[in-house]
């Protein structure tokens, strides 16, 4: 998969993809991630990327020309109907659909080319949306820009690509992939500051362990995310 990120703050991404699973996936050729400065695609002498909103209001709005030029430069066209199959042009914005595991999985499954556009909090000229296939938000809170969201989406998608996780089973057991939160984990030492590892985990009885884990996962989910259980009809 090829992921291109369009941003006015390319330095935001320095080093973020050079650790852990993403770094490994990059080195293994599973994913390629390129960051592009939107300013490089501005043609006027001041390389202006934003301007004041028509109609008045606070803040600055990202101008359409540099974004269209960038999309055309990377994809050969900014006409959605001409995108190659498996191409997603994603606008990261608080106005988007909330990102959930199933969206990330769908992108990991089908997409070959993903272009992530980091919007500004104040906004992006609406005409850019004609070139966009998905509008995504990472949650109901305000970020200054789409940059942190691009990192979140790139991470959530990359770790699901075949071969990205050393242990292929581990994505299936993650919180959310089964629609509920993860069970609690313990490692050495068996006793720490008076806190013991639950006996059942030391029992070697795999059936009992599975049962305990499922109960604990449900208990946790009931406590903090009742909405997830309702979605599953439990
Ligand atoms: Cl994608 N962008 C911004 N600016 N704020 C957000 C967001 C994105 N998702 C949640 N809040």
pLDDT (tens digit, 9 = 90+) per residue, 158-201? 999 999 997 655 676 677 767 899 999 999 999 999 999 999 99
Pair (193, 96) in one structural domain: no
Pair (36, 143) in one structural domain: yes
Pair (109, 39) in one structural domain: yes
Is 159 marked active-site? yes
Is 122 marked active-site? yes
Please give the structure tokens belonging to residue 152.
């979140």
Is 125 marked active-site? no
Query: Domain containing 106 — which CATH number?
Result: 3.40.1280.10
Pair (187, 146) in one structural domain: no
Q: Which residue's CA lies nearest to atom 5 of ligand 1?
A: 143
For residue 146, report the distance from its CA to the centre of ligand 1, in Å. 5
Cα torsion 144, 32, 130, 128 to 10°: value is: 40
Pair (43, 145) in one structural domain: yes
Pair (38, 145) in one structural domain: yes
User: Using one digit for the tens of pLDDT, what is the confidence trace for 114-173?
Assistant: 999 999 878 999 999 999 999 999 999 999 999 999 999 999 999 999 999 976 556 766
Whole-structure pTM value: 0.93
146, 150, 156: residue to mutate for ligand 1 pocket, most atoms within 8 A of CB? 146
Closest CA to 75 of 110, 40, 113: 113
Pair (12, 104) in one structural domain: yes
Structural domain boundaries enclosing 92: 2-158
């Amino acid at each position: 998969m090829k992921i291109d990120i369009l941003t006015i703050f390319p330095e935001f991404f320095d080093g973020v993809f050079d650790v852990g699973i993403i770094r490994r996936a990059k080195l293994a050729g599973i994913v390629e991630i390129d960051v592009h400065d939107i300013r490089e695609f501005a043609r006027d002498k001041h390389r202006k990327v934003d301007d004041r909103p028509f109609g008045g209001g606070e803040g600055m709005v990202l101008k359409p020309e540099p974004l269209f030029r960038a999309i055309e430069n990377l994809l050969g066209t900014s006409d959605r109907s001409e995108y190659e199959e498996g191409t997603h042009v994603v606008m990261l914005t608080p106005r988007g659909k909330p990102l959930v595991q199933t969206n990330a999985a769908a992108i990991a499954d089908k997409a070959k080319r993903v272009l992530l556009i980091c919007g500004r909090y104040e906004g992006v000229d609406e005409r850019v949306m004609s070139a966009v296939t998905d509008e995504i938000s990472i949650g109901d809170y305000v970020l200054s820009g789409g940059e942190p969201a691009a990192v979140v989406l790139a991470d959530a998608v990359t770790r699901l690509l075949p071969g990205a996780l050393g242990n292929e089973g581990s994505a299936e057991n993650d919180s959310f992939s089964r629609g509920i939160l993860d069970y609690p984990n313990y490692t050495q030492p068996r006793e720490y500051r008076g806190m013991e590892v639950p006996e059942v985990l030391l029992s070697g009885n795999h059936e009992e362990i599975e049962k305990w884990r499922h109960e604990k996962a449900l208990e946790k989910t009931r406590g903090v995310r009742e909405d997830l259980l309702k979605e599953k009809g439990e």
